[in-house]
Amino acid sequence: MLKSILLFFLFFPLLLISQNEKLSVEKLQQDLFVFKEIREKANSGIYKYRTKPQIDSIYSWAFSQIKQPKTLLDFYKIILKITDFEGSLHNDTTLPDDFQTKYSSGNVFFPYPVKLIENKLVINFQNSEIPLGSQILSINKIETYKLLKDFEKYYTTDGYNITGKSIGIGSSFAKYFEMEYGPQNKFTIEYFLPNKTKKLKKTIAAVSNEIRKQNFKNRHSLSLDSLQYSRAKNKYSFRIISKNTALLSVHTFVIGRNAKDKEHLVYKKYLDSCFDYLSKNNEIKNLIVDVRNNGGGTDPNDIVTFSYLAQKPYRENAFAYVNFQEIPFAEYLVYEETELQKKQEEKKDFEDELKEEFPKQEKGKYIQDEKFNQLLQPDKNNFKGQVYLLISPRIASAGSLFASLVTGNTNAIVIGEETMGGYFGHNGHTPIEYELPNTKIKTQFSIVNLEQDVPKKTNQIFGRGIIPDHEVKQTFEDFMQNRDIQMEYTLKLIE
């Protein structure tokens, strides 16, 4: 299996080269050309949301930006814009591993966690300098709307979705600021106090990365959003919350690596016991399924979970394909192995798997064999009452596939906010990673272009996340009181 790395905004790479060192136009153009060729040949999702003229246009823009030597960071930002423009949350472009820590060392970070509430950027930390809940208007004379627009490229989402970018803003605002505008010694902030309209100004000192991380761990909203930014110790739970209502929470689908994994089998047994109980208890007419923290995971956890809610036969995908059986531009691949012979074996194993799962070529696409996408049946203890599905911008990948199947193929009432993962499909399943020859920037994407087995619905829009039936967002007052307004709304709806 080719190397799969974690998203750079969660684990920022070490920096070893001077930020002021510039690379030649020739080297940058070569890397940009290689990047373009790789994505056109290997990335089956390159034209999923953008037309060929649109993709050609952004590359024309990118080449126009490197008429003169540039620093690695400046070139990296150009590559990030292209990566984000394609529209896949599985796209991941990272700086080279050996790029210098010097860039991020010392007291250079914005000190306080922030959060987007009602399209306003507010302080999400109790402190003595700028009160909790204060609305940020500008930082170092850069207005908030520009900050947020500049930061969008650092966190990829499916299609044209921007709600999911709030997850990146919430977790990595200080890192984005440093990347975009350089290290800062201090920050001059213009802001409104909570529920006030008088503009105030204050200059605060920058802090180290260690203090930044500690402040984030102590953010005001921790009690509600802790599972959105870290792995849950209890990945799933089930409880009866009233005489007629039960709650199933599944915070992740990282529950074992495959169908034979012990952790997955334990999860399957747990679901069996929960839904066996529900099938025997006629009083429980309502089931709340909370996947608001679910950023994805592995098969078949998502599909198995859906089997307990399905009312008719279903498939994981309506259609899936890849662009190749033999890996293009293999000389730029990133391997798990280091020895040449083992690299060759790794490449061959990968290609053999592709040929088995995607054996038939049609119109330049290698189509998934039906044995890898069989017609599945609802579980014998499937729930037949009313389902309430809670969703949020955090939901992605396998999480959004599950939520799409529930939204499209059951009677579920969907409550919350638009997901970052698409309703109709995404690129996923199989990641591949390349390294550019001169800058050593790495780029990873998933190669399987899939359409999810969901019907067209009037409120679901191509290129967007799953749209809830009842949009329920946290207000400023809800934020200050840490109220779970979506759960409260659902319980009132049931009553």
Task: Give residue 105's pLDDT.
Answer: 74
Last residue of some domain: 151, 185, 220?
220
Does residue 16 surpass a pLDDT of 80?
Answer: no
| Residues 114 and 91 placed together within one structural domain of the fold | no
pTM for this prediction? 0.93
| CA–CA gap between residue 148 and residue 384 (Å, rounded) | 44
* Whether residue 10 has pLDDT greater than 50: no
Examine the pLDDT at 6 and tell me if it is beyond 80: no
CATH number at residue 261: 3.90.226.10
Inside any domain, residue 267: yes
pLDDT value at residue 18? 56
Tell me the C-alpha distance between 292 and 23, whole Å.
43
Name the average pLDDT for the chain: 93
Is 274 strand, coil or helix? helix
- Looking at 24-33, 337-346, 426-435, which range is the least confident one? 337-346
**Residue 289 three-state SS:** strand
Q: Are residues 86 and 132 in the same domain?
A: no
Q: Are residues 88 and 110 in the same domain?
A: no
* CATH at residue 152: 2.30.42.10
pLDDT score recorded for residue 150? 97
Residue 230 lies in a domain: no
Residue 283 in any domain: the answer is yes
Contact 87, 140 (CB under 8 A): no
Please indicate, yes or no, if residue 257 is contained in any of the structural domains: yes
Do 61 and 134 belong to one domain? no
Using the structure block, give the residue that is written with the tokens 């191509």. Answer: 462
- Overall average pLDDT of the 396-417 stretch: 97
Copy the structure tokens of residue 429.
Answer: 């399943």
Mean pLDDT of the region 351-356: 97
> Which helix (H) or strand (E) is 427 found in, with range?
strand 425-435
- Flag whether 7 is in a domain: no
Domain co-membership, 311 together with 433: yes
- For the chain, helix (H) and strand (E) counts, in that order, are 13, 20
Please check the confidence at residue 5 and state whether its pLDDT lies above 80. no
Q: Residues 212, 296: one domain?
A: no
**Do residues 123 and 171 share a domain?**
yes
Please report the pLDDT score of residue 232 as a whole number.
75
Whether 310 and 172 share a structural domain: no
Among 47, 64, 95, residue at a domain's last position: 95
Q: Is the pLDDT of residue 34 over 60?
A: yes
Q: Are residues 316 and 386 in the same domain?
A: yes
DSSP letter (8 states) at residue 453: S
> Whole domain around residue 183: which residue ranges?
106-220
pLDDT at 143 over 90: yes
Number of independent structural domains in the chain: 3
Map tokens 């915070």 to a residue: 251
Structural domain contains residue 33:
yes
Residue pLDDT, tens place only, 72-99: 999 999 999 999 999 999 999 999 877 7
- Same structural domain, 253 and 355: yes
In this structure, is residue 5 part of a structural domain?
A: no
20, pLDDT greater than 80? no
